[in-house]
Amino acid sequence: MTGKGASNLPRRSLLLAAASGALGACQPFGTDYGTLKTALAVGFGLEDAPRITLEQAAAVPYASVAFQIGSSGEGMLVLASANGQDLLWTSAQRLAITTRNGRIVATAGLQWNLTSTVFAQADPLQTGILNEIPASAIDRLLDFNDVKRYAVRVSGHFERHGDETTTILGSKLDTIRIVENCYCSDLDWRFQNQYWVDRETGFLWRSEQSVHPNLAPISISVLRPPG
């Protein structure tokens, strides 16, 4: 995932490497398709595991995230492609999500899917929510092909909830927890997204996001950042 403070990617990789001695900056995408195919097969073979282990994460040499829906076991998604700020994460099970600066903007292969996201104003995740939280609501338009609803407006209010330490694969990270309170009047849908951003760089390490009114929240933790 990308975010403010991209020049600090080596530092972010070393945070996880310090815990294992094995995790570092990911290999450049596309250099070894055989290894990538293996990574995809291994990565989402973990969907029944309560938590991805350090050894499992270290075995995948590509940018990857832990992925969980509601209280289900964790799976791993591997970075398949990048198109500007949009990152496509996928699995051998043909499950895929697209993130933009850490926000999930589209999904595929889930029971219920978010087809697309368009912002009416700049997304605070893109502009750097660590440094500036908008006082007014930020609107976005969502498409849900599976329920035939399009341009559904969601308004989100952001709040800074203070410093928190979050742990990923044994590494303790100094973060700020940001809460986004969301409401969709068209679907009478209220939900809350949470983001844990690096206190120094603004990089989004972990999040819990709702992407569909019929789906439990999705939790994402960055295991190996893009480098």
SS3 string, 135-200, reads: CCCEEEEEEEHHHCEEEEEEEEEEEEEEEEEEEECCEEEEEEEEEEEEEECCCCEEEEEEEEEECC
Query: Which pLDDT score is estimated for 94?
Result: 82
The arithmetic mean of pLDDT across residues 141-169, rounded, is 95
Q: Residue 20: pLDDT above 60?
A: no
Query: Which pLDDT score is estimated for 50?
Result: 67
Q: Which residues pair with 69 in a beta bridge?
A: 218
Question: Confidence band (pLDDT; 50, 70, 90) for 207?
Answer: very high
Query: Which pLDDT score is estimated for 133?
Result: 84
Which of the two residues, 216 and 27, has the higher pLDDT score?
Answer: 216
- Please list, in sequence order, all residues whose beta carbon lies within 8 angstroms of the beta carbon of residue 31, skipping any fewer than 6 positions away: none
Q: Is the pTM of this model over 0.85?
A: no
Q: Residue 82: pLDDT above 60?
A: yes
Q: Residue 217: pLDDT above 50?
A: yes
Query: Which pLDDT score is estimated for 56?
Result: 84
Share of residues in the chain with pLDDT > 90 (%): 58
Q: Residue 12: pLDDT above 60?
A: no
Query: Which pLDDT score is estimated for 91?
Result: 84
Query: Which pLDDT score is estimated for 33?
Result: 40
Q: What is the mean pLDDT of the chain?
A: 81
Give tens-digit pLDDT for 40-81.
444 444 445 567 888 888 888 889 999 999 988 888 999 999
Least confident of 106-115, 122-131, 144-153, 194-203: 122-131
Give tens-digit pLDDT for 107-119.
999 999 999 999 9
Contacts 24+ apart (CB under 8 A), 180-184: 180/156, 181/156, 181/157, 182/154, 182/155, 182/156, 182/157, 182/210, 183/154, 183/155, 184/142, 184/152, 184/153, 184/154, 184/155, 184/213
